[in-house]
């Protein structure tokens, strides 16, 4: 039993190291996409949750999970989806946010419970390159469902903003 426990936690950390296909600097564990790994009568059940309902990266993540399991000689497994609790950017810790910033994506600045995120007048975001707050939104929707597009008026560079969700 102890051996089973340790192999499950080992599997969980291996699966957790899979990086997001769209944002390859952070892992699915850091994003909170990976919810649970457990042994159900010899079958490994991996539960993941989508960031956005239609996130097209989910299929790629599912395939990568299957690869990791097969590489560890596990043939009996299932990848399940869960929608509750609903994914939120509040699950990103400071370390993950710093990785996003270093990659050139401004991390979410507020918590999802902050009502100002509902305002149609977007707040200014901090440029991930030069740290200026003299920025403006170019597009509320960006290259993926989880991002919006901004421009820094100081260093003149455009940048992605990871939307608070």
Give me the residues that bind other proteins (CB under 8 A), please.
Answer: 50, 52-56, 82-84, 86-88, 112, 118-120, 138-143, 145, 149, 163, 165
Q: Distance between CA atoms of 144 and 159, rounded to whole angstroms?
A: 13
DSSP annotation string for 2-23: HHHHHHHHHHHHHHHTPBPSSS
In the complex, what is the shortest distance from the CB of residue 62 to other proteins, in angstroms, rounded to a whole number? 14
In the complex, what is the shortest distance from the CB of residue 51 to other proteins, in angstroms, rounded to a whole number? 10
In the complex, what is the shortest distance from the CB of residue 150 to other proteins, in angstroms, rounded to a whole number? 12
In the complex, what is the shortest distance from the CB of residue 60 to other proteins, in angstroms, rounded to a whole number? 13
**C-beta closer to other proteins: residue 87 or 99:** 87
In the complex, what is the shortest distance from the CB of residue 163 to other proteins, in angstroms, rounded to a whole number? 7
Q: Distance between CA atoms of 9 and 132, rounded to whole angstroms?
A: 42
**C-beta closer to other proteins: residue 11 or 57:** 57
**C-beta closer to other proteins: residue 71 or 120:** 120
Q: Burial of 1 by CB count in 10 Å (0-12 exposed, 13-18 middle, 19+ buried)?
A: exposed
**C-beta closer to other proteins: residue 68 or 158:** 158
Q: Distance between CA atoms of 70 and 123, rounded to whole angstroms?
A: 46
Q: Burial of 57 by CB count in 10 Å (0-12 exposed, 13-18 middle, 19+ buried)?
A: buried
Beta strands per DSSP E along the chain:
34-40, 43-48, 77-81, 105-106, 135-139, 147-152, 158-162
**C-beta closer to other proteins: residue 41 or 83:** 83
């Amino acid at each position: 039993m102890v051996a089973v426990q340790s192999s499950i936690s080992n599997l969980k950390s291996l699966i957790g190291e899979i990086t997001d296909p769209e944002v390859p600097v952070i892992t699915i564990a850091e994003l909170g996409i990976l919810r649970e790994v457990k042994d159900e009568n010899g079958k490994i059940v991996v539960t993941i949750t989508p960031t956005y309902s239609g996130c097209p990266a989910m299929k790629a993540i599912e395939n990568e999970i299957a690869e990791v399991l097969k590489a560890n000689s596990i043939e009996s497994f299932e990848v399940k989806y869960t929608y509750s609790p609903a994914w939120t950017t509040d699950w990103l810790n400071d370390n993950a946010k710093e990785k996003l910033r270093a990659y050139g994506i401004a991390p979410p600045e507020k918590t999802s419970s902050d009502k100002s995120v509902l305002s149609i007048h977007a707040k200014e975001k901090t440029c991930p390159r030069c740290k200026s707050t003299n920025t403006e939104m170019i597009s509320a929707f960006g290259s993926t469902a989880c991002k919006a597009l901004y421009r820094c008026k100081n260093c003149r560079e455009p940048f992605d903003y990871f939307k608070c969700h």
